[in-house]
Amino acid sequence: MPLLEHGLTLGAVAAIVAANRALRARQVERAFETRFGAQRNARGVIAGAESFTLTGSTDRAIVLLHGFNDSPQTMRSPAAAMHAAGWTVYAPVLPGHGRSPRAFAASNADEWIAAARAAVRDALQRHRQVAVGGLSLGGALAAIVASEEPSVKAAVLFAPFFVHSRRLGAIATLWPLITLGVKYLTGGSAMRAVRDPEARATLIAYGCSTPRLLREVQRLVRQARAVLPAVRQPVWIAQSSDDYRIPHEQAQAAFNRLGSGDKRLHWTTGNGHVITVDHGHEELSAEAVRWLESRLSAIPKPLMSG
């Protein structure tokens, strides 16, 4: 009888945990649907979070990759500045992003890397000069693709995420156990990630993750750190000294590991992690364009026959 009672107690506890997990997951999903659910297109992508292309006046192109949890919306500022200088800009939405928390939870690092590769290879088939850029995890993706594609002429990385984090490592290791108690991890520091309240209010982002997804982030970041010596193209990195997610010394260490003989680390201040939308993003985008223009000269587009 004591064993039976103990078994019933464990079963009751398990049922309570499962019920609480399901309730909290529904709350996260409903909150997201309340804010964004009515704004999706036929493909299920939220208005404003779609992939976009800006066709330029020269035969130069850049692929801009957004970060984990957000969407191409965060690349609008550098995209506009680059387009004004004649560049064609491709900003794809990564698998699982810009849609719903459930779609996000089903995605993985291999899909994100494959999407980045496909976007860059498509641009290489269309243009004579192609650069790659990215924000945060998109910066890590850009580094991976640049290391594999010597035809890529340059890389522009905004707060690239090459960080070794004990907290991330612990979650990545224990994710199967953590998942038993919680589907979505919430409570991130949005106010520190984006200091500009107006930009923060309009940001299209999930505001959550799953334990397994953080394992996927760790896998991707490890791969990106490993290939840094193989990135030999000119590289420009923008990093905020007030970025709470990327320690100063780790940003410098990643920069030092780059194999490029032509690299620059541009420090900003007064903004958070998502520097492409935060305070000073216009000046930052302009600086990125100036650097790109100094490395890749304009080539007129080929005349169309017929």
The pLDDT of residue 1 is: 44
pLDDT class of 186 with cuts at 50, 70, 90: confident
Mean pLDDT, residues 38-64: 92
Is 301 a member of any domain? Answer: no
**Number of domains making up the chain:** 1
Is 24 a member of any domain? Answer: no
Q: What is the phi/psi pair of residue 62, to 5°?
A: -135, 140
Closest CA to 120 of 77, 98, 95, 149: 149
Is 5 a member of any domain? Answer: no
- Comparing 211 with 6, the larger pLDDT belongs to 211
The pLDDT of residue 188 is: 65
- Helix, strand, coil content of the chain in percent (nearest 5): 50, 15, 35
Decide: helix, strand or coil at residue 300.
strand
Is 200 a member of any domain? Answer: yes
The pLDDT of residue 8 is: 61
**pTM, whole model, 2 decimals?**
0.92
Is 58 a member of any domain? Answer: yes
- Comparing 304 with 22, the larger pLDDT belongs to 22
Is 144 a member of any domain? Answer: yes
Is 21 a member of any domain? Answer: no
Tell me, what CATH number does 129's domain have?
A: 3.40.50.1820
pLDDT cut 90: percent of the chain above it: 80
Give tens-digit pLDDT for 149-172.
999 999 999 999 999 888 889 999
Q: Residue 165's domain spans which residues?
A: 37-295
Distances (CA, A) of 166 to 163, 171, 179, 244: 10, 9, 18, 15
Determine how β-strand 60-65 pairs with β-strand 263-268: unpaired
